[in-house]
């Protein structure tokens, strides 16, 4: 019997007003139900916002260190449940145990980090031009925040939205992705156990077309933070800004790794494979394009194919790469593989569903490498969100930089080189919010800004670290003359 989860609204666990529920299943064994959640509607979302609005003044007036103590305890509770939540994520999202465990730890670290940051929240004192005047700034919470999060990092992304929002004194309502909602619900279980006052944080599960839309458009919502596809995120941004809301979006990517002729090819292949096939390629920062200097191209292709073929695919509790999260995501990856073949790319390895007894169930696809990909092929331009790597051959650094920038996205980018001048130019000229040298496009520190350029974000507010707090605060300047 699968566990039944409820909404958390105004400090109470409750069923949806619709009376309906939905189930999540294991992508490694889709016939197995993992958990049951509330199929909420507009009324539930409205109740969550009303609760957050009612709790806002009191939570904003709570001293920062007192808010921090609740966040710290939340992190501690999550830490005590780490093994359980790791297993839940593997069963619900399909990540390997190592990937899921790392993500749960990241969520724990985020709560600990923002717990300490509450001690630094305040403002700045400036020198006034006149005598007997104190001139200073005060940071205040924006108000009620609506948070909408995706399935591919089902605890880390909710954590990096919820923790800074609460640290800064905001109240909130969260709608997690339906296909992997369990670890997001666990955050609110921990907040409740940690003593968070009623109404401060609320979670409502259900479809974006009702729950998400109600949160975004509600008059009492002051800020909206969304992570998901560019297509949906652009609609969210337009709708929310039309209502005068503060909006932060983190969207898709088509992330390049430029491989210089000076790079260690064996190391480069290992780095690229990790960025392309880690978390089954289901990361907005996945390194889906390898842009390789012609002098090392053939050796690189040989080496990266070896890396791909060395990966053991299967259920996340035993193997190197798990399944895709849903059948529709699997079908999308297979469709892009067909498109690449039709466009003339050369399939070097993978390209289909693996065969064998353990693959009879599950949304598995082989780690796939294509060479002879042209810069304007769809495989080189569109986000696949699966373990499919496009290798593009370029004549020199200038050509590589041009190809790297010649897409609609600009989230993360990397260069693998032993030429420091190339590295410096790449950092200066790459059109991406995250620039890396000699490491994969994936992997983020939690205390520095994260966000993209072009269609990878709204280019307004960044997430994480002090930048995350900036989004959830508004500055007031005080002239105090006496």
Q: Kindly report the CA angle at 184 between 67 and 172, in degrees rounded to 5?
A: 45
Q: How far apart are the first and last CA of the chain?
A: 69
SS3 label, residue 50: helix
Q: What is the dihedral of CA 378, 382, 386, 390, to 10 degrees?
A: 50
Instruction: Tell me how far the alpha carbon of residue 333 is from its chain's centroid.
Output: 19
Contacts of 18 (CB under 8 A, 6+ apart): 38, 39, 40, 41, 43, 44
Q: Are 67 and 167 in contact (CB under 8 A)?
A: yes
Place of tokens 């209502």: 243
Q: In the structure encoding, which two tokens stand for residue 314, read together?
A: 């299967």
Q: In the structure encoding, which two tokens stand for residue 343, read together?
A: 């466009």
Cα four-point dihedral sign 465, 407, 212, 37: negative
Strand segments, DSSP code E, in 132-192 are 133-141, 144-148, 171-175
Please give the DSSP secondary-structure letter assigned to residue 212.
Answer: I
Cα four-point dihedral sign 128, 133, 138, 143: negative
Q: Kindly report the CA angle at 184 between 182 and 186, in degrees rounded to 5?
A: 75
Place of tokens 């002098």: 295
CA atoms of 366 and 369, how far apart (whole Å): 10
SS3 label, residue 91: helix
SS3 label, residue 470: helix
Q: Which residues are identified as catalytic?
A: 284
**Which alpha helices (DSSP H) does 81-96 contain, by range?**
82-93
**In this structure, what are the phi and psi dihedrals at residue 35, rounded to the nearest 5 degrees?**
-160, 165
Q: Are 474 and 169 in contact (CB under 8 A)?
A: no
**In this structure, what are the phi and psi dihedrals at residue 211, rounded to the nearest 5 degrees?**
-65, -50
């Amino acid at each position: 019997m699968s566990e039944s989860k409820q909404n958390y609204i105004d400090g109470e666990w409750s069923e949806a007003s619709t009376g309906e529920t939905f189930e999540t299943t294991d992508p490694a064994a889709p016939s197995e139900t993992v958990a049951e959640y509330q199929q909420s509607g507009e009324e539930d979302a409205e109740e969550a916002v009303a609760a957050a609005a009612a709790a806002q003044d009191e939570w904003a007036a709570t001293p920062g260190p007192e808010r921090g103590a609740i966040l710290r305890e939340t992190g501690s509770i999550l830490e005590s449940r780490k093994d359980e939540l790791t297993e839940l994520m593997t069963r619900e999202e399909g990540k390997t145990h190592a990937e899921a465990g790392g993500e749960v730890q990241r969520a724990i670290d985020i709560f600990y980090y923002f717990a300490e940051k509450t001690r630094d929240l305040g403002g700045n004192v400036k020198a006034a031009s006149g005598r007997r005047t104190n001139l200073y700034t005060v940071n205040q919470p924006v108000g009620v925040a609506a948070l909408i999060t995706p399935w591919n990092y089902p605890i880390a992304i909710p954590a990096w939205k919820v923790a800074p929002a609460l640290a800064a004194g905001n109240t909130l309502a969260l709608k997690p992705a339906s296909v992997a909602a369990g670890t997001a619900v666990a955050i609110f279980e921990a907040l409740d156990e940690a003593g968070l006052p009623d109404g401060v944080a609320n979670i409502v599960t259900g479809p974006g077309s009702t729950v998400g839309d109600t949160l975004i458009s509600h008059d009492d919502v002051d800020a909206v933070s969304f992570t998901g596809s560019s297509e949906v995120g652009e609609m969210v941004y337009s709708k929310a800004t039309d209502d005068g809301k503060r909006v932060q979006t983190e969207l898709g990517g088509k992330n390049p790794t430029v491989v210089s002729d000076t790079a260690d090819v064996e190391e480069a292949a290992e780095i690229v494979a990790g960025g392309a096939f880690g978390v089954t390629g289901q990361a907005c920062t996945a390194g889906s394009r390898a842009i390789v200097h012609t002098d090392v191209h053939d050796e690189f292709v040989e080496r990266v194919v070896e890396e791909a073929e060395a990966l053991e695919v299967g259920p996340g509790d035993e193997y190197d790469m798990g399944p895709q999260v849903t059948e529709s995501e699997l079908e999308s990856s297979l469709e892009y593989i067909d498109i690449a073949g039709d466009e003339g790319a050369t399939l070097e390895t993978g390209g289909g569903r693996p065969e064998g007894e353990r693959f009879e169930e599950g949304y598995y696809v082989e780690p796939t490498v294509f060479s002879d990909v042209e810069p304007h092929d769809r495989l080189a331009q569109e986000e696949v969100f699966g373990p499919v790597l496009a290798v593009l051959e370029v004549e020199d650094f200038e050509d590589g930089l041009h190809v790297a920038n010649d897409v609609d996205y600009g989230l993360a980018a990397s260069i693998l080189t032993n030429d420091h001048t190339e590295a410096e130019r790449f950092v200066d000229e790459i059109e991406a919010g995250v620039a890396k040298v000699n490491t994969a496009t994936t992997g983020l520190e939690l205390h520095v800004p994260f966000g993209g350029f072009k269609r990878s974000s709204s280019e307004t507010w960044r997430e994480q670290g002090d930048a995350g707090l900036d989004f959830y605060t508004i500055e007031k300047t005080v002239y105090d003359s006496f």
